[in-house]
Amino acid sequence: MMTIGMPACLMGDFYRTQVTMHKFMVEKGMDPAKASQGIASYIETFNAMSLKAGEEGFDHLVAEQTPGGMNERIIKELEAGGNYKNLDKAMETLLPKLLGK
């Protein structure tokens, strides 16, 4: 039961990612309010697609990224930096605490 609570523990990371995107966009000259609105709009679209995921999970959403495109490039750069492995490690570290161990 507590395993389903794991995504709630990623809320801070989710918001920190938004902070990083916002800061980048503003530093590149974008109006801060428009940057916030744009980020929120994209995330709303991503969420709508995620809500349609069934038991197959989310792999198909990753597979939809254009081969050689910008989204695939970001994924590859984050993979190369160990971001997803670090996320796995963080969740493995946290799960026992959620389970009271």
Task: Give residue-wise pLDDT tens across range 67-91.
Answer: 999 999 999 999 999 999 999 999 9
Return d(Cα 101, Cα 96) in angstroms, integer.
5
8 A C-beta contact, residue 87 and residue 6: no
Largest CA distance in the chain: 48
Of all residues in the chain, what percent carry a pLDDT higher than 70? 99
Q: What are phi and psi of 69, to 5 degrees?
A: -85, 180
Return d(Cα 62, Cα 72) in angstroms, integer.
8
- Residue 101: which pLDDT band, with cuts at 50, 70 and 90? confident
pLDDT of residue 35: 98
Return d(Cα 65, Cα 78) in angstroms, integer.
15
The pTM (predicted TM-score) of the whole model is 0.84
